[in-house]
Amino acid sequence: MRRSTTTGVALALASLLTVTACGSGGGDGGSGSSGSGDGPEPVVFWGSWSGDQVAQLEEQAAAFNASQDDYEVEYVSQGLVEEKLLTALAGGAVPDVVLWDRYQTSLYAPKGALAPIDDMVAADDVDLDAFYAPALGEMEVDGALYGLPLLVDNRSLLVNQTALDEAGVTAPTTWDELRSAAVALTQRDGGTLDRAGFDLSDPGLFNMFLTQAGGALLNDDETETAFNSPEGLEVLALWQDLMDEGVYELGFGDGTDPFAESTVAMKLDGPWALATLDQVDGLEYSVVQPPSGPAGPGAYMGGFGLVIPEGAKNPEGAWEFMRWWTTQPENGVAFGEISGWIPANVEAANDPFFTEDPRYAAFIETMDYAQVRPSVEGFSDVEGKALVPALEQFMSGELTAEQALAQAQEQGDALLAAAR
């Protein structure tokens, strides 16, 4: 999933918010005036998307601008948009609306960075049941709603169909089938790995394997980690089996896209990968739901929402843009056609554009049971500073499974305690 983790954001934000806002708007992409009455009022739209994605957002903004005469949305790309928002909050030149990593809401909303939208939702009678419930939940903090979910994603299983057909195997639906298929798809020339059967390069996917095994990342009251468990060890046993079978080697394909180059036969990836893969000559691939573990299917979702920063000059225009894009299914589908991203609006996500394409259909089916990562403060550090580093040491053979999870538990519990 596309996420950016900002070290020390909470401290920086708390400090910056004590600075008296002195800007008058405009400048550096901030909000301008609310309009002179001679034309549509400007709505400044920030996001971290860049490159080819800028054109996608500009096309969607242009469609909104053409749909009404009151507002004109302009997209301004901002690298590390959360950090830029901190500076804007201190200077008083915040944008009107932000393409927002939903996972950051629980960190920024309590510090006063985001404006609650409950009154706007009530005034326009917005049906919040129209959205995937886990995605909506990521935009709620302490009973208040701070934005609307816009886009969703998950990791489903991409398979090289040509390789599967040649090996005489079908796409795996269980862990046991995954083991067998990965072995059958692996190709070696002597001791050299030519094609990996299954990509194990991302230890951050431990969370989805854990839920497939029936485990949990945190305990019920979200005060301590829970991944050092029989279920966690079962995940690492699967990974070790795959490594022992030689279906993957650390560093294999680094600096390339090995799935696109057909040197990896199966990998877990998101819908954002499809646009690139579709441009690869001769690549025949399919997407299926992730293999089920001992406890059944499991996946995690991520994605983006739209938020209005506290102090925005044109919150009314921002709201109209948000409402137009997220609550009208046809507009969500239109952006899917532009970008390939799946709408967080359930009706839009189940439009034939997605469900009649077998590859997108697999992602939509996975959405039915995908959950979101814990939003408790400090958990992102648990993942980034404790769990993933320990898993990397396990994969490299520096730690046993038991040592890796015990180390991550000790460090993770300390991080959660420090965040409380």
Cα→Cα distances 398→23, 392, 393, 401, 404, Å: 52, 9, 5, 10, 9
Residue 338 in any domain: the answer is: yes
Residue 1 in any domain: the answer is: no
Within this chain, do residues 124 and 160 fall inside the same structural domain, yes or no? no
Domain of residue 118, CATH code: 3.40.190.10
Within this chain, do residues 51 and 82 fall inside the same structural domain, yes or no? yes
Within this chain, do residues 72 and 216 fall inside the same structural domain, yes or no? no
pLDDT in tens, 35-82: 445 789 999 999 999 998 999 999 999 999 999 999 999 999 998 898
**Count of domains for the chain:** 2
Domain interval for residue 411: 156-300+376-419
Residue 4 in any domain: the answer is: no
Within this chain, do residues 340 and 405 fall inside the same structural domain, yes or no? no
Select from 344, 364, 355, 267 the least CA-distant residue to 302: 344
Output the CA angle 143-220-151, nearest 5 degrees.
50
Distance separating alpha carbons of residues 330 and 60, to the nearest angstrom:
12
Residues 6 or more apart whose Cβ sits within 8 Å of residue 332: 150, 325, 326, 343, 344, 345, 348, 349
Tokens, residue 248: 């993957």
SS3 378: coil
Residue 3 in any domain: the answer is: no
DSSP 271: G
Within this chain, do residues 60 and 183 fall inside the same structural domain, yes or no? no
Residues of the chain with pLDDT under 70: 1-37
Q: Residue 39, class by beta-carbon neighbours within 10 Å (0-12 exposed, 13-18 middle, 19+ buried)?
A: exposed
Within this chain, do residues 278 and 347 fall inside the same structural domain, yes or no? no
Separation of first and last alpha carbons in the chain: 26
Within this chain, do residues 149 and 188 fall inside the same structural domain, yes or no? no
Within this chain, do residues 342 and 247 fall inside the same structural domain, yes or no? no
Within this chain, do residues 81 and 211 fall inside the same structural domain, yes or no? no
Residue 322 in any domain: the answer is: yes
Residue 202 in any domain: the answer is: yes
The DSSP bridge pattern shows strands 156-160 and 301-307 to be unpaired
Helix axes 388-395, 401-419, angle to 10 degrees: 170
